[in-house]
Amino acid sequence: MLSKINKIAVIGTGVIGTGWIIRMLAHNKKVSAFDLNFKQKAILIKEIKRSLPFVKKLYKKKLINLKNLSFKTSLLETLKDVDFIQECVSENYKLKTKLMSDIGKYSKPNAIISSSSSGLLPSVIFSKCKNPNRGIIGHPFNPVYMLPAVEIVPGKKTSKSILKKANDFYKSISMNPIAVKKELPGYLADRLQEALWREGLHIINEGYATTEDLDRAIEDGPGLRWSLIGTFLTFHLAGGKSGMKHMLEQFGPALKLPWTKLKAPNLSKKLIKRLVDGTKKQAKGKSVAKISNIRDEYLLDLLLMRKKYEKKLR
């Protein structure tokens, strides 16, 4: 049964907030967007128009009704009568905790409040919020309007009924929710990404490879497999006929070898320069918007193609 939640507030119109707004509009939701900086409205509209060709094709929409979007600089006006609130401000405990206190005061008592945090604990974020039982983390991935994953993380006071409603709502906007069993810093995907990121920093810092080398190592190798079957099923296949059992017997001992350095290296000026120069070289003079278009076109083709193979696996 699809969610009946139709009136949405998105707090903050940066990259993630804008992504949420585009996805909501693509699913005919009425969206009140909040930002203290009114100049963000023009930036928001520009990004919506840039992404429209990809969004319409992905969700098989002939038209995205921009009349369903209103932009406000008053939090009180933004939250009026909305059923679901998606908060997207900076990753900062003090800022989010204060904001959630205000959202709790101004919103309907039963409105679900979801934070787009990438790793903060919901019990802290909602510690000063009225009715904290309706507070969750709804962590998406960029670009939010295309990638279907969203991690739902409960706080210690989050009610099961709210988790169910949030899960149904996210499914109603074509997302595949991932239920995190209990709160932990970084959640699931960012902890995995962080491990890969830290190891990459060490490799670059010690001069073994460039940023392009490491990106190619993922793009042309495990990344192609991961987009369909992830890490664990990939390793299951690596074990041959006996699957994961044989893989662990054969490759398990390698875990004791010093292949990785999970402690992050110091971000020295030298390392920062290597990262900035490396990615600048990879961009080959193309703007962020241009690369975003290329990425979105690729993701669109990949997502549409993947559906064919997902049906065979699931």
Instruction: Give the torsion sign (CA, 170, 310, 222, 57).
Output: negative
Choosing from 179, 198, 217, the residue where a domain stops is 179
Residue 157, class by beta-carbon neighbours within 10 Å (0-12 exposed, 13-18 middle, 19+ buried)?
Answer: middle
Q: What is the CATH number of the domain that holds 226?
A: 1.10.1040.10
- Domain C-terminal end among 131, 158, 179: 179
Q: Best-predicted range by mean pLDDT among 120-129, 246-255, 297-306?
A: 120-129
State the pTM of this model: 0.91
Q: Which of 179, 209, 229 lies at the terminal end of a domain, its last residue?
A: 179
Residues 53 and 135 in one domain: yes
Burial class (CB in 10 A: 0-12, 13-18, 19+), 221: exposed
In eight-state DSSP terms, residue 85 is: E
pLDDT of residue 267: 87
pLDDT score of 216:
96
Lowest mean pLDDT among 56-65, 161-170, 194-203, 305-314: 305-314
- 129 and 194 inside one domain: no
- Residue 195 confidence (pLDDT): 95
Q: Are residues 22 and 94 in the same domain?
A: yes
**Statement to judge: residues 150 and 226 lie in one domain:** no
Query: Does 152 fall in a domain?
Result: yes
Question: Which two tokens mark 30?
Answer: 């009425």
Q: What is the mean pLDDT of residues 119-143?
A: 97
pLDDT tens per residue, range 180-199: 999 999 999 999 999 999 99
pLDDT for 274 equals: 93
Helix and strand counts by DSSP (H, E) for the chain:
12, 8
Domain check: are 48 and 155 in the same one?
yes
- pLDDT class of 311 with cuts at 50, 70, 90: confident
Give per-residue pLDDT as tens, 13-64.
999 999 999 999 999 999 999 999 999 999 999 999 999 999 999 999 999 9
Same domain, 161 and 49: yes
- Residue 163 and residue 232 share a domain: no
| Within-domain flag for 308 | no
Q: Does 212 lie in the same domain as 116?
A: no
Name the burial class of residue 312, with classes exposed (0-12), middle (13-18) and buried (19+) by CB atoms within 10 angstroms of its CB. exposed
Please check whether residues 128 and 247 belong to one and the same domain: no
Distance, C-alpha 26 to centroid of its chain: 17
| Residues 6 or more apart whose Cβ sits within 8 Å of residue 195 | 260, 262
Percent share of the chain, pLDDT over 70? 99
Residue 129 and residue 11 in one domain: yes
Average pLDDT for the chain: 94
**Cis? peptide before 143, omega within 30° of 0:** yes
| Domain residue limits at 247 | 190-283
- Residue by residue, DSSP assigns 114-144 as EE--SS--HHHHTTTSSSGGGEEEEE--SST
Query: Domain total for the chain?
Result: 2
- Does one domain contain both 20 and 157? yes
CATH number of the domain encompassing residue 54 = 3.40.50.720
Does the residue 141 lie in any domain? yes
Q: Who's near 61: CB < 8 A, 6+ residues apart?
A: 26, 55
Query: What mean pLDDT is predicted for residues 297-307?
Result: 93
Establish if 292 belongs to a structural domain: no
d(C-alpha 245, C-alpha 252), whole Å: 10
With residue 177 as reference, give the H or E element that holds it.
strand 176-179
Q: Are residues 121 and 27 in the same domain?
A: yes
